[in-house]
Amino acid sequence: QVQLVQSGAEVRNPGASVKVSCKASGYTFTSYHMHWVRQAPGQGLEWVGVVNPSTGRTSYAQKFQGRVTMTRDTSTSTVYMELSSLTFDDTAVYYCARDVDGFDPWGQGTLVTVSS
Amino acid sequence: SYELTQPPSVSVSPGQTARITCSADALPKNYAYWYQQKPGQAPILVIYKDSERPSGIPERFSGSSSGTTVTLTISGVQAEDEADYYCQSADSSATSAYVIFGGGTKLTVL
């Protein structure tokens, strides 16, 4: 079955960077774009950006331009999202989600906590 | 860019019909998608392309579109349908993509 498995929870200091992984299985990795969406505690969903696993091409939400980098490793069917210059407002659960004309499925989420 | 507006909350009794709206503030409206999220869980897709239902989603979930407003309808609401619901739309060009979510609606089953 199609599955997205994300890396574990992370704690970072303000100003640091974090890199979250999302390993795909059960389908052809390069056939579908992968999005990243985050959700701050008690808040709604916020789109971060998308990566094309076939070409590596990316598109980021304007809010995160210059601070986010999405990459992929086709040999391991894994996509990565790195967010730099972290602030307390970046504390959130970060999800990867496959784009099949709608986001389906979603990874289990990775909690990133920014704390001093 | 544009925004998607949802009511913060909707309450219904079991067996009744719940309707959750999502309004876009600008044209053109692109396809809309709906997600259900229960506490502590990742969202799941319940409606795609305004009105299509993924396999495995109960028939009581349906979607419709009129102008720049889309509606998620849950007929015969069950206690297990209590969750947050988010609408989502997207736009893209040759050089960029843009995805937006509504603010979410908390469905309470009384």
Across all residues in chain B, what is the average pLDDT?
Answer: 92
CB neighbour class for A13 (10 Å; exposed up to 12, middle 13-18, buried from 19): exposed
∠ CA(B50), CA(B55), CA(B60), 5° rounding?
Answer: 65
pLDDT of residue B93: 65
Mutate to test the interface with B, among A22, A94, A103, A110 (most CBs of B within 10 A): A103
B48–A47 CB contact, under 8 Å? no
pLDDT of residue B27: 54
pLDDT score of B67 more than 90:
no
Q: What pLDDT is stored for residue B30 in this prediction?
A: 82
